[in-house]
Structure 1
Amino acid sequence: MKNNYLNLVGLAFRARKCSLGEETIVKDIQQQRAKLVLMASDTGPQTKKKLTNKCNTYGIPLIEVDDRDTLSNAIGKSQRVAIAILDAGFAAKIKSLLDK
């Protein structure tokens, strides 16, 4: 995985263009505010299923990235398994970096 996207995730978090926590992310997906959801590869099966189903239903891109420690370190929080990017610009750039 490219680590450049982690810098952008940290920047988006500091710009308050992210949401954290399963319930908040689900709410942002349902309200079409989330533009991209990043999920750690070691997410639990129930959370993974819930986020995958919500993203598929509402047409939000979901990308599985590194483990939870790497994702958490990018934003300076501990034990975060998913991050929703709320800004279209950040989402497009992060997605393009992950697609390379």
Structure 2
Amino acid sequence: MNEKILHLLGIARRAGRLTLGNDAVIESLRRGNAKLVLLAKDLSPRTAGGVRLAAEEEGIALQALSSTMDEISMALGKRTGVVAVNDAGFASRLIALCTAQAAGTEE
């Protein structure tokens, strides 16, 4: 399941539908572009807290991934622990995959 999420993130990156990095993601949230925010499991609590607060203020869904920053960097080609998905279609599919992964079911 984790591979499906990372693969879809790679496709979204190539399609230009992602914003990567803490500051860029917060800016994307403020501008109303982000539809979903994803956090790496090894992201620092301080960084995660700031992004979580910004996402809550804007009413945007936030998901913690079971992937590390290294795994995300392999899929995206850039080391980051914070990713904003700026496309509703990609966001809804990623939410479904994350939910299925958390429930332990295969989708």
SS in structure 2 at match of 1:63: strand
Match of 1:63 in 2: 63
**1:73 maps to 2:74:** yes
Report the alpha carbon displacement of residue 39 of structure 1 after superposing the two structures with TM.
0.5
SS in structure 2 at match of 1:3: helix
* Cα root mean square deviation, aligned: 1.1
Q: Whole-Å Cα distance in 1 between the matches of residues 95 and 86 of structure 2?
A: 13
Instruction: Kindly report which structure 2 residues correspond to 1:31-70, keeping only aligned pairs within 5 A, or say none.
Output: 31-65=31-65, 66-70=67-71
Task: Provide, for residues 43-96 of structure 1, a one-character-per-residue CA deviation record: whole Å limited to 9, x for no partner.
Answer: 11221110010111111111111111111111122x311111100000001111
Match of 1:22 in 2: 22
Report the alpha carbon displacement of residue 2 of structure 1 after superposing the two structures with TM.
3.0
Q: Whole-Å Cα distance in 2 between the matches of residues 23 and 57 of structure 1?
A: 16
Unaligned ranges ≥5, structure 1: none
Match of 1:95 in 2: 95
Q: Whole-Å Cα distance in 1 between the matches of residues 61 and 74 of structure 2?
A: 22
SS in structure 2 at match of 1:34: coil
Q: Whole-Å Cα distance in 2 between the matches of residues 43 and 98 of structure 1?
A: 17
Report the alpha carbon displacement of residue 32 of structure 1 after superposing the two structures with TM.
1.4
Q: Whole-Å Cα distance in 2 between the matches of residues 15 and 9 of structure 1?
A: 10
Segments ≥4 residues shifted beyond 2 Å: none
Percent identity over paired residues = 33
**1:4 maps to 2:8:** no
Unaligned ranges ≥5, structure 2: 101-107
| TM-score w.r.t. length of structure 1 | 0.93
